[in-house]
Structure 1
Amino acid sequence: MTEPADESRVESRATDLLPEEQVAGSDDPERQAEVILAESDERTEHPEETRRESSQTPDEEDTAPAAPADPATGRPTDAGTGTRPD
């Protein structure tokens, strides 16, 4: 189970559910909170090892900067060429 120092953290998480968690419901909100917090702690402590498992962590290619916009139209240009992709 959880250590005494974590009990208040689990209780707080169990009583402050996200809206989608409230809609889904739970037979054991404290156990659900323990699991959620354990997974969160794992991602925090080992981000590179858990990156691919997390649906909330963008892939490396998702964080690349967007192509520059054409100042005249505001539309994206082809990266590196300065031309519009028409």
Structure 2
Amino acid sequence: MGGTADDQDDQHDQRRDDERVSERAELLPEEQEAGSDDPVDQAAAILEESEERTDDPDGTRRNSSQTPGG
């Protein structure tokens, strides 16, 4: 009925991701001032980049123009 454990985990992960995007889509004051055509897409992109940095901090540090020693 409820699917496999993997399906349930995937659904849980998707709900958690959707919640994170929804929360991040609430623009910060400086973002409100600058405006955003699509806060949800913007939030998804920000969180995806953040996850990449978390998953591979050394790789993103090497590839970053903003990180000293890169």
Distance in 2 (CA, whole Å) between partners of 1:54 and 1:41 is: 18
1:13 paired with 2:34, answer no
Shift of 1:48: 0.6
The one-letter code sitting in structure 1 at the alignment partner of 2:28 is: L
Gaps of 5+ in 1: 61-86
Alignment correspondent of 2:14: 3
Give the CA deviation at 1:54. 5.8
In structure 2, stretches of 5+ residues that fail to align are 1-12
CA distance in 2, matches of 1:41, 1:10: 12
TM-score, normalisation: structure 1:
0.55
Deviation at residue 24 of structure 1 after TM alignment: 1.5
Aligned residues: 56
Partner of 1:24: 34
- Moved runs in structure 1, 4+ residues, more than 6 A? none
RMSD: 1.9
Choose between structure 1 and 2 for higher RCO, CA contacts under 8 A separated by at least 6 residues. Answer: 2
Q: 1:54 to 1:36 in 2, by over 3 A?
A: farther
Query: Which of 36-45 and 21-30 deviates more?
Result: 21-30
The letter for the 2-side match of 1:43 is: R
The alignment status of 1:42 with 2:46, answered yes or no, reads no
Paired-residue identity, % = 55
Structure label with greater radius of gyration: 1
Query: 2:7: which partner in 1?
Result: none
